Amino acid sequence: MEHNDKVEQLEQRIRRLEHEVAELKQFEMQRRQASAPRPPVPPQRTAPPSGSPFTPPPPEPHWQGAHVNAPPPNANYGVRPPQPPQQGQYTGAQRPPAQAQQPPYTPPVPKPPKDWEHLIARVWLPRVFIVVLILGIVWGFIAVVKAGYLSEPIRCILGVLVAAVLYWLGEREVSKERPALGKVLLGGSIAILILSIVASYLLYALLPFIFAFLLYIGALVFAVYIALSQRSQSIVGITLVAGYLAPVLIAPTHPNLWIFAGFETIFSAVMLVVAMKYSFRVSYILAFALLHITLGLSMIWYGFSVQNVVAVLVQHAVILAISVLWKQRNTSMQLGVLFTSFAFVGGWLTIYYLDGSETGARWMIAILSLMYSILYASGIQKRTPVGIAYPAMAIFGWFLLLNMIPNFPARMAVILVEGTLAFLLALRFRNKLQLVLACIVYAYAFLATFLVPIERFWSAHTFNWLILLITIAVIYRIIGKFVRSDDKNYGSLYRKRYILMWAEAILGLVYISQLVQVASMSQNADVRHLSLSSAWIIYAILIIVIGMVVQKSKLRIIGILFIFFTLLKIIFIDLPDISIGVRAILFIILGVVGLGLSRLFYKRRDTNGQPPLQQQVISNPAEHHGTDQQHTEGNKDDHPLNDPKPKNNDDLS
């Protein structure tokens, strides 16, 4: 839809809204007049008969000396005299109140059907084929150059002339109210002008660096002027494509990479500022993304260089400065671009690290991580969308730095602690982006720890496993402290936190099993099976005891299931490989443990024969009257056979 059409539709809507507001005002005035109380009518006074000596004083107005709206005392002017019953439907009954006058119904304005012919033929057709035209001109120019028909100065002059013709045609189309085609032609003229200036320096060396640089800046200023005068984002987009790809398309075989990266970086910074200044959202995203595409192409053709890293660092600094200076325009789009830019910077620094510059990459990522940690700690833009990205980028930066430190066996333990702290801060300050990144960092360290078996009893990997178990318990406590079940955003996390309890128990069993196997590796089969089964039994008893202390029924259930799981292991795995003496020992130990645990659950019954949880449910004092008397008389045997009506014997709820 054209700009003029949008303006006209907006004016029509404004006029319609003004008409509706006027009607509403008129209706409100009528309603107030209808509901206003009628002024009281003074009683009629009869004149005295002629010749009477009494002359009444003149009546005073009833409002003198009183509030305007207050009726006189002992007066009932608001009550109408009784009316005789009327014939009809409501005879002898109270009439229903009169319906309030409804405002006139204004039907909603139907949306006009989308004109696909206009959208395709007038909007997208010129945008696509102006790029085709530019590529055709560039390749035709290269073909003519290879044929030797044109000298180098003539080639550049022809490019400038073609840009001037396209500019004239674009202004002509805009003046004749064909703005879509005209704006595309204007953008094409800017693109060819930039191509000609860059070719005159990079390809033919016709201009000195200073003069070529000034012409390049002048072309950018001219492009910005046209885009702003037309208020056109399409011109900015075409300028972006031409400005980024021009040095790549016409670069010589061995270009000066510093000059190449300098052109691209300056162009990126200018277009980012212009796009944010005039709220060109698509252009802002393109100005960020096209630099990385251009540098990626240059890396494929010319190899990786430190100039690429410098270019992306400068662009990221510009994006950060924009997010800090334009506080009133902080949006989710800026948040996405800032965080994605930092992720791309991390990727380029990782390539730089793998290319052999370990120290330089580590220092750069350490400075960035420290900077974002300080920004987060200082509370700058804490409540803005962009401020949400600061802790996430700090977490990501420290994560990359830890992976760049060589010969650090306890790396996964530190990353697990980092992920746990990030999880704590994310729930504390309700930062969803930080929560997602904390989960990713923790999942990475979790898998790296879990998938590598323990080979030595005293080793860094054993320490990593211990930290893994501790951090899972800490995360469980964090969720219980900072989240509630009725939380709209994080309630599901609270309700499903019991999964961490099961994971903690299972991983603890795996950890103990690995340690026992490593410690008994040099022993015979009987000792290995006996040691492992004994460790499982002790671990199950420990879980049940902890569940009783902290009053967690799920922990007690887990311990009981582990007892049964140990029994299944002994029957199906240990029996074929162990001697009869070890079988006897294992079954005796397991039988005693099972019976002892059962007796322990009976002992958990209260002295009045009820489980503690049932006693807590009783809220009426009359229901537990006489409890103190039962305590003074002494306790009978807790066995359910002594009760007249056995109750629930095991408190597993």
Residue closest to 596 by CA, chosen among 642, 636, 563 = 563
Among 218, 250, 282, the domain boundary falls at 250
**Would you state the structure tokens that stand for residue 49, as one six-digit string?**
């008969």
Residues in the chain with pLDDT values less than 70:
1-5, 8, 35-112, 114-124, 127, 130-131, 134, 138, 141-142, 145, 148-150, 246, 248-254, 327-330, 381-383, 602-653
Residue 565: give the domain boundaries: 523-602
Angle at 319 between CA 363 and CA 426, to 5 degrees: 75
**Would you state the structure tokens that stand for residue 84, as one six-digit string?**
């005789």
In contact, 227 and 239? CB cutoff 8 Å: yes
Residue closest to 4 by CA, chosen among 228, 223, 176 = 176
418/423 Cα distance (integer angstroms): 9
40/261 Cα distance (integer angstroms): 90
298/290 Cα distance (integer angstroms): 12
Q: Which class for 142: exposed (0-12), middle (13-18), buried (19 or more C-beta within 10 A)?
A: middle
pLDDT value of residue 450: 93
349/362 Cα distance (integer angstroms): 8
Phi, psi of 310 (to 5 degrees): -60, -40
Q: What share of the chain is helix, strand, coil (3-state, %, to 5)?
A: 70, 0, 30
C-alpha separations of 132 from 65, 125, 227 in Å:
89, 11, 21
pTM here is: 0.61
Asked if the structure places residue 501 within a domain, the reply is no
Phi, psi of 647 (to 5 degrees): -110, -170
Tokens 């089969």 sit at which residue? 525
In contact, 195 and 162? CB cutoff 8 Å: no
Residue closest to 478 by CA, chosen among 530, 513, 429 = 429
Asked if the structure places residue 230 within a domain, the reply is yes
Among 250, 279, 304, the domain boundary falls at 250
| 461 residue type, one letter | H
The half-sphere exposure of 319 on its side-chain side, counting CA atoms within 13 A, is 29
pLDDT one-digit tens code per residue, 367-401: 999 999 998 888 776 667 777 888 889 999 999 99
pLDDT value of residue 220: 78
223/235 Cα distance (integer angstroms): 8
pLDDT one-digit tens code per residue, 267-301: 899 889 888 888 888 889 999 999 999 898 888 88
Among 250, 281, 305, the domain boundary falls at 250
Asked if the structure places residue 53 within a domain, the reply is no
Residue closest to 246 by CA, chosen among 155, 134, 344 = 134
In contact, 516 and 477? CB cutoff 8 Å: no
Backbone CA torsion sign across 231, 233, 238, 241: positive
Rounded to the nearest 10°, the torsion over CA 247, 251, 255, 258 is: 0
Asked if the structure places residue 353 within a domain, the reply is no
Angle at 287 between CA 281 and CA 289, to 5 degrees: 105
pLDDT value of residue 609: 46
Contacts of 151 (CB under 8 A, 6+ apart): none
Asked if the structure places residue 162 within a domain, the reply is yes
Asked if the structure places residue 198 within a domain, the reply is yes
Total number of domains constituting the chain: 2
Phi, psi of 218 (to 5 degrees): -65, -40
Asked if the structure places residue 297 within a domain, the reply is no
Asked if the structure places residue 349 within a domain, the reply is no
